[in-house]
């Protein structure tokens, strides 16, 4: 397992350093839901990734969703979408169900390198969830939490504490769900 950090640039740096021919590559992490069909604290395997050019990229490792769960479509953005209105606009513009910062770059890298690949996304926030506007500063380039930046945000806006606690609990539960789903994927190989 490798933690590459958030965003397309981190995916590019990580994928450039992969040596050999991995048998299977799975991108796992958090995403926001743009649709009420995909519940917070759950995890899903997207059926496709919509890239910046609007093309749908389909994973080459096909794994059926457990219990006939719906398979979302995911898109990626350069910065976290923090308002419900912006989430709704993105869903309408792209026709996607989930949003993250890495899937499109990962799909392009995987296709270029001819990997067998898929994506597992835990849902940390829903379409009606407002996120703190400085949330992207809370994680460093390696994907580690920057406690000092979170504390600065709290000092400036103490009112965000309840939503921060909820986001932490939802994100933790979503990653547990993602880990279970990865275990199923690996077990099916």
Q: Where residue 186 falls among pLDDT bands split at 50, 70, 90?
A: confident
Query: What is the pairing mode between strands 117-125 and 43-44?
Result: antiparallel
Residue 105 lies in a domain: yes
Give the pLDDT of residue 110.
Answer: 94
The per-residue pLDDT for 67 is 65
Q: What CATH number is attached to the domain comprising 119?
A: 3.40.50.1580
What whole-number distance in Å separates Cα of residue 34 and Cα of residue 189?
A: 30
Nearest to 70 by CA among 36, 29, 100, 104: 36
Indicate the number of domains in the chain: 1
pLDDT at 65: 61
Asked if the structure places residue 79 within a domain, the reply is: yes
Share of residues in the chain with pLDDT > 90 (%) = 75
pLDDT, residue 93, reads: 95
Helix, strand, coil: what percent of the chain each, to 5?
40, 20, 40
Do the domain assignments include residue 173? yes
Kindly report the average pLDDT of the chain as a whole number. 92
Task: Specify if 2 maps to a domain.
Answer: no
In a domain, 87, yes or no: yes
| In a domain? residue 1 | no
Indicate if the pLDDT at residue 169 is higher than 70: yes
* Contact present, 9 and 102 (Cβ < 8 Å): no
The H or E element that residue 89 is part of is: helix 84-94
Give residue-wise pLDDT tens across range 67-125. 666 789 999 999 999 999 999 999 999 999 999 999 999 999 999 999 999 999 999 99
Identify whether 46 is part of a domain. yes
133-156 pLDDT tens trace: 999 999 988 888 999 999 999 999
| Residue ranges making up the domain that contains 91 | 7-15+22-187
Residue 161 domain flag:
yes
């Amino acid at each position: 397992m490798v933690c590459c950090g958030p965003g397309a640039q981190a995916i590019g740096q990580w994928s450039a350093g992969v040596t050999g021919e991995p048998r299977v590559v799975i991108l796992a992490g958090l995403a926001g839901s743009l649709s009420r069909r995909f519940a917070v604290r759950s995890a899903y395997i997207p059926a496709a990734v919509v890239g910046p050019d609007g093309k749908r990229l389909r994973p080459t490792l096909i794994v059926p969703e457990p219990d006939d769960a719906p398979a979302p479509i995911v898109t990626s953005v350069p910065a976290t979408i923090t308002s419900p209105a912006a989430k709704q606009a993105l869903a309408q513009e792209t026709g996607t169900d989930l949003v993250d910062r890495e899937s499109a770059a990962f799909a392009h890298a995987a296709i270029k390198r001819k990997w067998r690949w898929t994506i597992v996304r835990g849902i940390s926030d829903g379409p009606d969830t407002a996120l703190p506007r400085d949330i992207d500063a809370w994680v460093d380039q390696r994907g580690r939490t920057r406690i000092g930046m979170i504390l600065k945000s709290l000092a400036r806006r103490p009112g965000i504490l309840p939503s921060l606690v909820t986001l932490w609990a939802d994100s933790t539960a979503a990653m547990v769900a993602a880990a279970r789903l990865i275990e199923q994927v690996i077990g099916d190989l």
